[in-house]
Structure 1
Amino acid sequence: MILVLKRQIKGIPVLEVVGDADRHQPLPLVVYYHGWRSAKELVLTQARKLAAAGMRVILPDALNHGERLQPVSEVPSWTFWQSIQTNLAEFSLIIDYWRQLNLIQAGRIGVGGVSMGGMTTAALLTKHPEIKAAACIMGTPAPLAYARLVRENVQVHQLAQPDDLGLLTSWLTAYDLTEQPRAIAERPVLFWHGTADERIPYEQVAMFERQINDQTYAKNVTFLTANGERHLVKPALMNTITAFFKSNL
């Protein structure tokens, strides 16, 4: 039986998803992030699959989402970037909680997520060498390029935005994986993206694949392209993600 346990970790609402028999045993730990305007409960199916494969899975609610839901700022994209930044700030708090309980097996820490959660995942790789494997699903490793695209779209639609929004989100530079690809450091990383994704452009991931192709530090990176697929996770993909973590964590 798979247990789904509600917890509060330093004020962060999370679900712990784990096999009943393994609940008190050290296990590989996977922190898995949901997408924009979603919630932790909406990635429970993926978490159950990972838990059935022998992992402890932690599903946090991002700031402004789920149990932490707040109105979206009138400043375009501001709530989006704030949510990702808070995910990054809180990652170590989550890991430290399970580390102090001695429930992380041999330092086997994984991270993954969909859409906004995928962007969180790629950003975490730039600063957290303790991550052993990661899966960026429908996200982008290029938040600077994505932020520029969002600002351009806002201008096209003649919406008001601060002139210094780029400066206000300048922290993205430090977490852009395309700016520091060597941070991958030969770790297993899975990128999955549909070519017809209407929310996060497939080309940003395709460009990154071309950028790091044949580099030694990226020898364990896998890019999966889904021709014609849109911004949607299907059951077969969940099985692929589970197999990836089972093999690499």
Structure 2
Amino acid sequence: MRILFLGDIVGRPGRDAVVAGLFRLRRELEVDVVLANGENASGGLGITVKAASQLLACGVDVITSGNHVFKHREIQVYFESTDRLLRPANYPPGTPGAGLGVYGLDGKPPFAVLNLLGRTYMNSLDCPFRAADELIGKIPGDVPVRLLDFHAEATSEKKAMAYYLDGRISALCGTHTHVQTSDAQILPHGMAYITDLGMSGPIRSAIGMDPQAVIRRYLTGMPQRFVLSKGPVELQGAVIDIDAQTGKAVQIQGWRHACQE
């Protein structure tokens, strides 16, 4: 089973690139499932109903998210109409949406997607490690393919979670920093891991934003209005091959695709 997992989609540039090219990329890469972190898909912060609908219609099978998912209030109601948009499971009880989905698409082997938020330098939420235990306990035993988006800032927290879950899930892909790491690997008990998938958006930017505004913020210490950067767009993520019978990863490769301007 081959999975393409796209890193944080940033604003209209990233969203348009996914919409324009994903069907072709699915064929070229021969992927069975496409996952994407979409929490920055609308204006670079949050996700609207329109953006989520566009991504699901263009070939994304499941959208994961993170700490900005509720930026646009309308998305709260949207969670009631779809199970293909997830939010981190360790938000408090009563929060709209779910952090776990189990899917069977077009006769392909079933798979589970988990979504968790880190706590180091992030929102103070429930413990993601204990939440991971709870989520895994809810996945049916006949669904061995299990994929986690761990939306976290600290590399140490992502690595700790990786070794905590190795052998219990198929892949852990980190998101949030928008900078792709070069440490894609298979851990000893068969779990694929990458610290961060990177970003699907403008590459001549400071994590998607106009670098000049970010520079002014650092030089002056004063608030600045951040706007999406312009110019070339790149899709970033990872391609993961998983044995659908055992749930163990066969290989993982960091993946980047330059889009035409």
TM range (shorter): 0.3 to 0.5
Q: More helix by proportion, 1 or 2? A: 1
TM-score (ref. length: structure 2): 0.36
- The TM-score, its normalising length taken from structure 1, stands at 0.37
